[in-house]
Amino acid sequence: MCRHGKGHIYEYVETAIERGLDEIGFAEHIPIPGLHDPDGRMLIGEFPIYLQEIRDAQKKYSEITIRLGIEADFIPRYLDFVAKFLSEYPFDFVIGSVHFIDDWDFSHPDFIEKYHTFGIDETYKAYYNLLAEAAATGLFDVIGHFDQPKKFGHQPTTDLTSEIENALLIIHEKNLVLDVNTAGIRKPVGEIYPSEDILRRAHELGIPVILGSDAHRPEDVGSHFSEAREMLLKIGYERQCAFRNRERMLFPIE
């Protein structure tokens, strides 16, 4: 229902069934009235359609569990709106994500030249600081695509260990889950979010993980999950999470 995704909910569910998934969670981008983001998200008036379509899909497909989620942006000036919105609907899970540094959507392909005016290192630093702030709010269950500024292949030239460590420590302290997101494989960077090094540190800290394909087309549902599972098992993860009514459940990674 965002303006940059394709296909109907049923097509995503049917792909998930074909690919042998037991469960699929939808996480549309949260509508935020007032935010200038023309192709980023549904309008607030469309939100009831999303709820209804998830409910209809849950009734139609008994062979798979379908969860209602949302990807909520952390944008400081909209925090009160987002907090209220999240409290008003019966989400199974909430992904907290940072896509904006001030007014700049650094994850949008139309605005990538700003990495050079803002500075690549500065982008990463500002991003990780916002991500740490997002985790500290306690509003979210999952932190989405942890190292997203790498999306278009921009590599930092400075050591970001302390920024990354700080964000991970807050994620751990707030008992959040990391999104192991295969969309990065489909982007110019060509690798999973977060990187293997970051996941190793997350594993040492005992931070749980959830698999996500961040599918914006039905054919991307569950894409590269075997690669993601292989990486997680190699690092030492044995279990992955799912959510129901914002409560975490653990399952073996197989």
Task: Name the residues that contact Zn ion, by CB under 5 A.
Answer: 97, 144
Among residues 152, 151, 139, 208, the alpha carbon closest in space to that of 179 is found at 208
Nearer to Zn ion (CB atom), residue 92 or residue 234: 92
> What is the residue type of 74?
F
Smallest distance from the beta carbon of 236 to Zn ion, in angstroms?
27
Q: Select 97 or 123, whichever has its Cβ closest to Zn ion.
A: 97
Smallest gap from Cβ 11 to Zn ion, in A, equals 16
Spatial CB neighbours of 140, under 8 Å, sequence gap ≥ 6: 72, 74, 94, 95, 96, 134, 176
Q: 41 vs 125, which CB is nearer to Zn ion?
A: 41
As measured in angstroms, the least distance from the Cβ of 109 to Zn ion is 12
| Closest residue to Zn ion: CB criterion | 97
| Least gap, CB of 181 to Zn ion (angstroms) | 8
Rg (CA), the chain: 17
Token digits for 142? Answer: 């999952």
In 14-64 the beta strands, taken as DSSP E runs, fall at 23-29
Nearer to Zn ion, 92 or 214 (CB): 214
Minimum separation from the CB atom of position 210 to Zn ion (A): 14
A 10 A CB-CB count for 242 gives 20
Nearer to Zn ion, 15 or 181 (CB): 181
Minimum separation from the CB atom of position 47 to Zn ion (A): 16
Of residues 153 and 236, the one with the C-beta less far from Zn ion = 153
3-class secondary structure, 29: strand
Least gap, CB of 107 to Zn ion (angstroms): 7
Residue number with CB closer to Zn ion (44 or 61): 44
| Beta strands in the chain, from DSSP E residues, in sequence order | 23-29, 65-73, 93-97, 100-101, 104-105, 142-143, 177-181, 209-212, 239-244, 247-252
Task: Report in angstroms the alpha-carbon separations of 65 from 25, 43, 164, 185, 220.
Answer: 8, 27, 34, 26, 18
